[in-house]
Structure 1
Amino acid sequence: MSTAPAPSFLQSVWLVSEREIGSKLRSKAFIISFAILFLAALALVVWGGLQARDTSGTPVAVTADAEQYVAGVQGLEVTEVGSRADAEALVLAGDVDAAVVADSASPLGFAVLAEDSAPTSLLMSLAELPPVEMLDPSSTDAMLRYFVALGFGIVFLMSAQLFGSTIAQSIVEEKQTRVVELLLSAIPVRALLAGKVIGNTILAMGQILILAAIAVVGLTVTGQTALLGGLGAPLAWFAVFFLLGFVLLAAMFAAAAAMVSRQEDIGSTTTPLIFLIMAPYFLVIFFNDNPLVMTIMSYVPFSAPVGMPMRLFLGEAQWWEPLLSLLILAATCVAAIVVGAKIYENSLLRMGARVKLREALAG
């Protein structure tokens, strides 16, 4: 009576990956969490489209000696002021988006005052483009910068934490129920680790690509082609950086989970990794307007998937910087896989008390 041949290493990896993907897609918790993220992304895109289609007039302050330059111009809510100083005060206070004032130095006879960006609708509605004087220069609209930072940060945080925690819980569950002993009798330990990492990476990347598709389709349908043009390359780089960044984190989550044997002990080894995931989110939210912090983030492996795409969107990164950052991330990823595989292999069959890191590395 012949027995079936043992699966090869690649077949074993695929069997584990398929098992991870299938179990996740059947999980109600996963479906609900993804639905929430999907609806949040859709709501953000729709809100942006409604804002872009807002047809209300542009609030503009106009001095008495510049009224003739805006006479008959449609789409403006004009507030008359007595002097240039009054116009500047309204602009800086945020009461109006811009001000039109007489300017003898301008060949057109007038100029537009704006705080950090001049309203495009105002400039396009004038017969000739006037010189624009920025009272508080800024390279990108502050609100747009914040929402893009929020988008990159929250997608990275939720995806990495969700699938990283999934890997950890799966490993500990298999140890606690002794299923891992049956699995290792049929497949190599490294194939088990590779299958778990690859399966969850496929799920995580699928989620990222679906969210990116929502953003692209939503921005196209709502007519935000200018914003889409600026986000296209950063979104592509985000996907590439996230792929390597997640593999790095997945290997570390697997190693951390293999060191314990009970679900209630998972937090003792994975909490530092949760902090590593949360740090880029809070940094990009609070320091997205700080070039130094963003530059440092774009080269640190754990925050590069958020920091570098954000800098690319802002136009603050040179063409070679994402390549260098990606090289650093790839090297760190390889090192994490090697170390994580050693910890995983040395700890997986050890039951009972938590395995110390020194013991896991020494075997």
Structure 2
Amino acid sequence: MSTQSTGTRPAPRTATARPAAPRFVDSVGLIAGREITMRLRSKAFLISTGVLMLAVLASVVLGSLLGGQSEAAKVAVVGAASSAVDGNDALEAVPVDDQAAGEQLLRDGEVDAIVAPAASDPLGVVVIGLDQAPSDVVQALAVYPTVELLDPAAVDPTLAYFVAFGFGIVFFMSAITFGSTISQSVVEEKQTRVVEILLSTVSARALLTGKVIGNSVLAFGQILAIAVLALLGLMLTGQRVLLGGVGPSVIWFVVFFAVGFVMLAALFAATSALVSRAEDVGSVTTPVTMLVMIPYILIIVFNNNPTVLAIMSYIPFSAPVGMPMRVFLGTAEWWEPFISLAILLATAAAAVLVGERMYRNSLLKTGTRVKLGDALRG
């Protein structure tokens, strides 16, 4: 009688499933989140942002103090001298019976000066001070000829200068700060060869897009916070007239900056990928830095030149400061910001495409500096 062995048959081998590559959107979100987290953990970034916001708030408060209405000077008015003081908003008249009563009020600090009739004076009054000439009272009583302007300025030139300076310095500081951050990140990853590990998991396009989006979100958030703080400061300090003029231009500045920084961020990343050492970053990013510095200089020097501002408002690299300034001055038609923004969007898209090609073709090339032509051709 034969027996049949019933041994257990080995289980068939199954192929080990490879982990699926992350999707493009997931990769971009992961890299952008990493960039944002690293910056928010940086004490230098938080301190610089706080200092910039405090400087903006201080400028608004200082402008309120310097531009506010000064309190009317109190003057003791004797007899017929009241005709020289009546209707003068800069002076608060305190009628007295005689000059002796006025002198007593002046010595007690109740008034700033005495205005008394004087037959020998061409104006018919004399101003009496305590221990020094009351210049504010004298200036309030001064007689000036009527002045007419052929082409009166719609906006106070001093105010226009400060608004132009504000747009220029905020755009310059934010673009340089975050542009330098992107450049340092790209070179560090390339110099330490961390980028080779990253590229084994994500594509170069996803890596660049994540860096640009992450730093753009931070830059946009900083600009938005500064804009809200400035508008809130104007509202709380009672500068509602100035708020009505500056408000629309600030909104346009935020919109133009958001698009313009994406363009600059892509160029900063692309040019930084051409080198493999941190000390060489400055030489390759200088052209991009100049594209940020030139508009800053032009907006300060030519803030009252309508021709220069009109040209700046249609050049993509200067439009983020040129067009908002024209909106503030009231020299731009309602449709011009939209045309300028469309040109900026098209230029930003082209810059991202060219920057992505340069970044992808240069990222794994170490050693000597990659030539621009090689980076573009691949």
Judge same fold: TM > 0.5, yes or no. yes
Q: Matched residue of 1:113: which SS?
A: coil
Structure 1 window deviating more from structure 2 (34-43 vs 200-209): it is: 34-43
The TM-score, its normalising length taken from structure 2, stands at 0.78
Q: CA offset at residue 319 of structure 1?
A: 0.7
CA separation of 1:209/1:281 partners in 2, compared to 1, >3 Å: closer, same or farther? same
Q: CA offset at residue 72 of structure 1?
A: 3.6
Aligned to 2:230: 215
The reply on whether 1:346 has 2:364 as its aligned counterpart is no
Within the candidate set 98, 113, 133, 2:146 is matched to 113
Cα offsets for 1:163-203 (capped at 9, x unmatched): 01110100000000111011111111100000000000000
Within the candidate set 25, 50, 60, 1:45 is matched to 60
Cα offsets for 1:274-302 (capped at 9, x unmatched): 11101111101111011111111101100
Aligned to 1:301: 316
Tell whether the 8 Å contact from 1:253 to 1:270 is kept in structure 2 after alignment.
yes
Cα offsets for 1:300-349 (capped at 9, x unmatched): 10000000000000000001111111111111111111111100000011
Root-mean-square deviation (CA), in Å?
Answer: 2.5
Aligned to 1:150: 165
CA separation of 1:97/1:257 partners in 2, compared to 1, >3 Å: closer, same or farther? farther
Cα offsets for 1:59-112 (capped at 9, x unmatched): xxxxxxxx9696243325999988xxxxxxxxxxxx9699867xxxxxxxxxx8
Q: CA offset at residue 51 of structure 1?
A: 2.3
Within the candidate set 173, 176, 193, 1:161 is matched to 176
Tell whether the 8 Å contact from 2:208 to 2:356 is kept in structure 1 after alignment.
yes
Tell whether the 8 Å contact from 2:246 to 2:328 is kept in structure 1 after alignment.
yes
AA matched with 2:166: G
Q: Matched residue of 1:260: which SS?
A: coil
Cα offsets for 1:211-252 (capped at 9, x unmatched): 011111100110000111111111111111001100110110
Tell whether the 8 Å contact from 1:252 to 1:340 is kept in structure 2 after alignment.
yes
Q: CA offset at residue 19 of structure 1?
A: 0.4
Cα offsets for 1:39-69 (capped at 9, x unmatched): 11011011012124342459xxxxxxxx969
Within the candidate set 234, 253, 263, 2:278 is matched to 263
Q: 2:160 and 2:336 mapped to 1: Cα distance?
A: 20
Tell whether the 8 Å contact from 1:42 to 1:218 is kept in structure 2 after alignment.
yes
Tell whether the 8 Å contact from 1:175 to 1:349 is kept in structure 2 after alignment.
yes
Q: CA offset at residue 139 of structure 1?
A: 2.0
Q: 1:57 and 1:300 mapped to 2: Cα distance?
A: 48
Tell whether the 8 Å contact from 2:271 to 2:285 is kept in structure 1 after alignment.
yes
Which structure 2 residues correspond to residues 26-41 of structure 1 after superposition, within 5 A?
A: 26-41=41-56
Which structure 2 residues correspond to residues 324-339 of structure 1 after superposition, within 5 A?
A: 324-339=339-354
Which structure 2 residues correspond to residues 283-322 of structure 1 after superposition, within 5 A?
A: 283-322=298-337
AA matched with 1:187: V
Which ranges of 4 or more aligned residues in structure 1 deviate by more than 4 Å?
Answer: 1-4, 67-70, 76-82, 95-101
Aligned to 1:16: 31
- Any stretches of 5+ residues in structure 1 without a counterpart? 59-66, 83-94, 102-111, 115-132
Q: CA offset at residue 264 of structure 1?
A: 0.3
Within the candidate set 230, 251, 269, 1:236 is matched to 251
AA matched with 1:318: E
AA matched with 1:31: L
Tell whether the 8 Å contact from 2:39 to 2:45 is kept in structure 1 after alignment.
yes
Q: Matched residue of 1:134: which SS?
A: coil
Q: Matched residue of 1:166: which SS?
A: helix
Q: 2:270 and 2:333 mapped to 1: Cα distance?
A: 36
Q: 1:206 and 1:172 mapped to 2: Cα distance?
A: 25
Aligned to 1:203: 218
Q: Matched residue of 1:212: which SS?
A: helix
Tell whether the 8 Å contact from 2:154 to 2:329 is kept in structure 1 after alignment.
yes
AA matched with 2:60: V
Tell whether the 8 Å contact from 1:113 to 1:134 is kept in structure 2 after alignment.
no
AA matched with 1:176: Q
Tell whether the 8 Å contact from 1:98 to 1:113 is kept in structure 2 after alignment.
no
Aligned to 1:359: 374
Q: 2:275 and 2:83 mapped to 1: Cα distance?
A: 77
Tell whether the 8 Å contact from 1:259 to 1:356 is kept in structure 2 after alignment.
yes
Q: Matched residue of 2:48: which SS?
A: helix
AA matched with 2:354: V
- Any stretches of 5+ residues in structure 2 without a counterpart? 1-15, 74-81, 94-114, 116-120, 124-137
The reply on whether 1:176 has 2:209 as its aligned counterpart is no
Aligned to 2:260: 245
